[in-house]
Amino acid sequence: MTNKSTKILLINAINTSVEVETRYPNLGLAYLVSVIRKNIKEKVEFKIIDRDVLKEGVKFKPDLVGITSVSQNYNLAIEYAKYFYKKNIPVIMGGIHITLLPKTLPKYCIAGCIGEGEKTFEELVRLFIDKGKFFDKDIKMVDGVVYWSKGEVAASRPRELHKVLDEIPFPARDLVTVDKHSYMFTSRGCPYRCSFCASSRFWDKLRFFSAEYVVDEIEILVNDYGVEMISFFDDLFVANFERLNEIYKLLKKKNLIGRVRFTCSCRANLVNKRLVKLLKKMGVVSVGMGLESGNEEVLSYLKGGTVSVKHNYQAVRLLKEEGISANASFVIGSPMETKMQVMDTYNFIKKSNLDLFDVYILTPYPGTPVWDYALKRKLVAVNDFDWSRLNVNAYQMDKKDIILVSEKLTTEELVGYYNKFRRLRLVHNVLKVLRHPMAGDLPKLAYGMAKESIRRLIKN
């Protein structure tokens, strides 16, 4: 295959009928492209897609397909893999689901990339270019993969994580849509281990791109793409205060302060006056926090005893005092959570002076303690399981498909509380959103949500 271009189709398996899943492109796939462009000199043509997959697949005529998927969309990922398998096109699976449940590798896939995929995928592409096809004896020599061997899923040696993240080139944004409000990553991983969070298990440990790398990427987004707002999608952007301060200094040195606004994630126990003042100077206008609960006992279960309700109140207050919007997500339905404890969270929201908030029913994601708990109770399974039941947005699901990990509430009771929170959210967020720093996203957001609602009505 060295005499012609190798065409690689990269698919982000999403539910295109859900607005939030279509809001941003997948930068993980764009990182794969940038690494291969840097290290493989043969001609490789890429296409990144997340919708009209079968139609685009026919038009593009790929030689190789890569698919990434979260757990709730894994059914769809399997369908895509089967489609290309039947066309004799090799398929490689990647992403958080296959990493945390490698035994679920579909028989339609030649391999699955486990964990951080850039180097692994590069080596698989190298094999394909050199030999024109994949051989089992070659695949098993690549670190960080699972593959089929004698009718079972086998694994090669684990791959070491990137020691220096700065060696990874900026993601290939020429292959994705870049809007005025865009996003980027400045780190990988999180030092905390919330009981429901799969992301921290995927990345294993916290690593940072340098301040110089981060500001160079910001500069490109502002100067080359005209980006006006950047959301840092790190699990915990503020984890290293000194690096944060260095980012601010470099932004100031390059005259980027005031030319772009930022949003980021934070943890309530890390919010203090020094941090908030620095975020304000940087140009951070909105901070999202997983406050999770207004009840001490439930919060301890969800966050491992590292955060208190007092921290939650204080974080909101400090951010608001500096004029930074404070947004939060909450989770109801923990195993031992009572009706009174659910209402503690409801009352917290009403009293806390938050800007925007959302609420979710606790969902057992693979790799987490909540998954292990659900597995022991036979609420979930590894084989023959409908992965769409792991949809964190319960309003999109039939009541019978919601996985109930609560031992104190019935499904009817929990859904009743969930709807009560959703009604509060509707009124609360409508009153707040027009004055929110991200109000400029409203037209696109409203259009997407209207389409989602119409599709749901037609389906029902």
Report the chain (460 residues): mean pLDDT per 10 consecutive residues.
81 90 93 97 96 92 97 97 97 98 97 97 96 91 95 95 96 96 96 93 92 98 97 96 98 97 97 98 97 98 96 98 97 98 98 95 97 97 96 90 97 97 94 83 59 55
> Could you tell me which of 4, 3, 113 has the C-alpha nearest to residue 66?
113
Task: Please give the order of strands across the beta sheet that includes 6-12.
Answer: 44-49, 6-12, 64-68, 91-94, 111-113, 145-149, 152-155
Matching residue, tokens 């006056």: 273
Please indicate, yes or no, whether residues 265 and 361 belong to a single structural domain of this protein. yes
Please indicate, yes or no, whether residues 438 and 292 belong to a single structural domain of this protein. yes
Residue 2: what pLDDT? 47
- Of 108, 135, 155, the last residue of a domain is 155
Contacts 24+ apart (CB under 8 A), 212-218: 212/166, 212/250, 213/165, 213/166, 214/184, 214/186, 214/247, 215/247, 215/250, 215/251, 215/254, 215/256, 216/170, 217/170, 217/184, 218/184, 218/251, 218/256, 218/260
Distances (CA, A) of 152 to 89, 102, 126, 382, 384: 21, 11, 25, 14, 16
Residue 221: what pLDDT? 98
DSSP lists the bridge partners of residue 149 as: 152
Please indicate, yes or no, whether residues 251 and 113 belong to a single structural domain of this protein. no
Please indicate, yes or no, whether residues 295 and 409 belong to a single structural domain of this protein. yes
Please indicate, yes or no, whether residues 10 and 129 belong to a single structural domain of this protein. yes
For residues 40 and 24, what is the distance between their CA atoms, to the nearest angstrom?
28
Please indicate, yes or no, whether residues 144 and 207 belong to a single structural domain of this protein. no
> Could you tell me which of 355, 329, 330 has the C-alpha nearest to residue 341?
330
In a domain, 19, yes or no: yes
- 302 sits in which H/E element: helix 296-303
Please indicate, yes or no, whether residues 117 and 206 belong to a single structural domain of this protein. no
Residue 212: what pLDDT? 98
In a domain, 175, yes or no: no
CB contact set of 286 (below 8 Å; sequence gap of 6+): 263, 324, 325, 327, 355, 436, 437, 438
Please indicate, yes or no, whether residues 151 and 224 belong to a single structural domain of this protein. no
In a domain, 178, yes or no: no
Please indicate, yes or no, whether residues 143 and 205 belong to a single structural domain of this protein. no
Question: Residue 374: CA atoms inside 13 Å, Cβ hemisphere, count?
Answer: 25
- When divided into structural domains, the chain yields a total of 2
What ranges in 189-240 are assigned the alpha helix state H? 199-203, 211-225
Cα 78 off chain centre by: 19
In a domain, 187, yes or no: no
In a domain, 196, yes or no: yes
Spatial contact of 286 and 172, defined as CB atoms under 8 Å apart: no
Domain of 72, in residue numbers = 6-155
In a domain, 453, yes or no: yes
Structure tokens at 157: 């040696």
Please indicate, yes or no, whether residues 387 and 443 belong to a single structural domain of this protein. yes
Please indicate, yes or no, whether residues 144 and 212 belong to a single structural domain of this protein. no
Three-class secondary structure of residue 163 per DSSP? coil
- 375 sits in which H/E element: helix 369-376
Residue 147: what pLDDT? 97
What crossing angle do the helices spanning 309-321 and 296-303 adopt, rounded to 10°?
90
> Could you tell me which of 41, 42, 46, 59 has the C-alpha nearest to residue 7?
46
Structure tokens at 75: 């059914």
In a domain, 1, yes or no: no
pTM: predicted TM-score of the whole model, two decimal places: 0.93
- Of 104, 136, 155, the last residue of a domain is 155
- Secondary structure percentages of the chain, helix, strand, coil, to 5: 45, 15, 35
Instruction: For CA atoms 411, 415, 418, 424, give the dihedral sign.
Output: negative
For residues 359 and 336, what is the distance between their CA atoms, to the nearest angstrom?
18
The CATH number assigned to the domain holding 392 equals: 3.80.30.20
The CATH number assigned to the domain holding 121 equals: 3.40.50.2300
Residue 454: what pLDDT? 54
In a domain, 165, yes or no: no
Please indicate, yes or no, whether residues 279 and 326 belong to a single structural domain of this protein. yes
